């Protein structure tokens, strides 16, 4: 494949676009790729286009860069599509925190499951419908690389609508880098296997030359009481396998923590953390915009993200293993068929091939199934146009159900439905509280 066309949908997420382009254009085989940028925000799109040219110059690359407010034009003839949209932006994120907080419901990141994850999905699904229709019309064979959260819900919703889709997240990679540091073993010497669901996969094997590095981890935890004040270490101690997402993420997927003030203090759980992160993202965009306007320096730093690696492998045939979020077609035996799971995937010129992992440890699968239940009901709500399933998803969500009564859940759902309004699928805009 010579000079592939790579479409960025949501390119106005400038900082993320910047990192992905720095990685892509570092490969000699991709330096003349066709880069098509799309966003609905004209200013952000102009900034992204300028950033792309600046990165290309810094990398000594000569890509053909286009920027288009029309999504279908950007997608036309694409070989790869990178989805990095955030529907509703910072304002919708604040809504997802502030309204539940009035009910006493605490969240940390609110982008995966929970009330925030459910409504982020419902805002995103109509845009995914339009993206899938455009791809079917102008690039039906393109590989869609999804970064948009909630990852598992979005990939599940897209299954059957897009021919080739894989969800990408860096949580496994950075978890293993962190674990390697904790046990004082170079990451390059570590062999590992992880599997589960996005943001809640499990490290099933952690070794070096046949040595079980979990033994070293146990020693490190025993020596350091501060390590025992991390949610993910607590999960490891109770469940026997280390989870592949940060403590602030992990806390809100569980029923045992955020409702208790003493657990928040003991485990140093940062309630409302993503509002602060989102505010910093807005500030970082403005710094980049101002640097573009005034000729300031822009960092050209790689991210180590999977999308550039996948594109390079497909284009050149270079074999790699990455972690991907894909439909569970017998990949994890004790999670439901058809749900979206995170497993290692082999990548080469033929595409992305998921690995069959077998059965998870039963306690890990049981925790995952609570997560999967929320995903299934949210996806069904949108696919079937059933607003009651939105409430059902909230009812079975671990953190929400541990904190709120049934009546509170239904009233909260109505409040969020009114607040997000036209961003939601039309069939799900009804309020149902009696």
Residue numbers in the known binding site for substrate are 149
Residue 312: active-site member: no
H-helix or E-strand spanning residue 18 = helix 14-24
Helix (H) or strand (E) holding 56: helix 42-59
As annotated, the binding site includes 149, 169, 199
Q: Can you read off the two tokens belonging to residue 203? A: 């490290």
CA gap 397, 380 in Å, rounded: 15
Q: Which of 38, 170, 260, 294 is catalytic?
A: 170
- Give bridge partners of residue 211 from the DSSP assignment: 208
Residue with tokens 């880069």: 35
- Distance of alpha carbon 119 from alpha carbon 115, whole angstroms: 6
Distances (CA, A) of 284 to 170, 277, 278, 279: 20, 10, 10, 9
Cα–Cα distance measured from residue 287 to residue 339, given in angstroms and rounded to the nearest whole number? 40
How many Å apart are CA 325 and CA 103, to the nearest integer?
Answer: 33
Residue 300 backbone phi and psi in degrees, to 5: -120, 85
- Give, for 153, the enclosing helix (H) or strand (E): helix 151-158
Residue 426 burial (CB count, 10 A) = 9
Q: Is 243 helix (H, G, I), strand (E, B) or coil?
A: strand
Q: Which residues are catalytic?
A: 170
């Amino acid at each position: 494949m010579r000079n592939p066309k790579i479409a960025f949908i949501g390119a106005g997420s400038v900082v993320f676009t910047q990192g992905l382009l720095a990685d892509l254009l570092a490969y000699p085989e991709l330096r003349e790729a066709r880069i098509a940028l799309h966003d609905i925000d004209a200013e952000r799109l102009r900034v992204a286009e300028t950033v792309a040219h600046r990165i290309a110059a810094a990398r000594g690359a000569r890509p053909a860069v286009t920027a288009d407010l029309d999504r279908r034009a950007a997608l036309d003839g694409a070989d790869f599509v990178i989805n990095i949209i955030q529907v509703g932006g910072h304002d919708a994120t604040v809504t997802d925190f502030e309204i539940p907080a009035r009910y006493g419901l605490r969240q940390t990141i609110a982008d995966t499951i929970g009330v925030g994850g459910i409504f982020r999905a419902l805002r995103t699904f109509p845009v995914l419908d339009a993206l899938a229709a455009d791809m079917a019309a102008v690039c039906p064979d393109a590989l869609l690389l999804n970064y948009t959260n909630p990852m598992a819900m979005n990939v599940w919703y897209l299954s059957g609508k897009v021919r080739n889709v894989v969800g990408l997240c860096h949580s496994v990679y950075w978890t293993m880098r962190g674990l390697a540091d904790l046990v004082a073993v170079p990451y390059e010497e570590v062999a590992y296997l992880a599997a589960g669901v996005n943001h809640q996969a499990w490290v099933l094997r952690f070794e070096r030359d046949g040595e079980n590095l979990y033994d070293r981890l146990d020693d490190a935890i025993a020596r350091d009481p501060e390590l025992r004040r991390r949610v993910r270490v607590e999960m490891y101690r109770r469940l026997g396998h280390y989870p592949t997402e940060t403590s602030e993420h992990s806390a809100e997927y569980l029923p045992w923590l955020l409702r208790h003030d003493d657990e928040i203090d003991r485990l140093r759980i940062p309630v409302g953390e993503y509002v602060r992160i989102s505010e910093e993202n807005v500030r970082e965009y403005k710094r980049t915009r101002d640097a573009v306007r005034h000729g300031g320096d822009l960092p050209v730093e790689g991210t180590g993200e999977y999308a550039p690696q996948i594109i390079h492998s497909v284009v050149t045939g270079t074999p790699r293993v990455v972690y991907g979020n894909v439909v569970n077609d017998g990949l994890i035996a004790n999670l439901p068929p058809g749900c979206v799971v995170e497993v290692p995937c082999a990548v080469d010129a033929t595409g992305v091939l998921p690995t069959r992992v077998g059965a998870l440890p039963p306690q890990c699968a049981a925790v995952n199934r609570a997560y999967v239940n929320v995903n299934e009901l949210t996806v069904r709500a949108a696919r079937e146009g059933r607003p009651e399933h939105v409430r059902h998803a909230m009812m079975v969500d671990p953190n929400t159900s541990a904190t709120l009564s049934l009546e509170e859940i239904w009233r909260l759902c109505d409040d969020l439905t009114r607040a997000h309004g036209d961003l939601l699928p039309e069939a799900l805009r009804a309020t149902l509280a009696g």
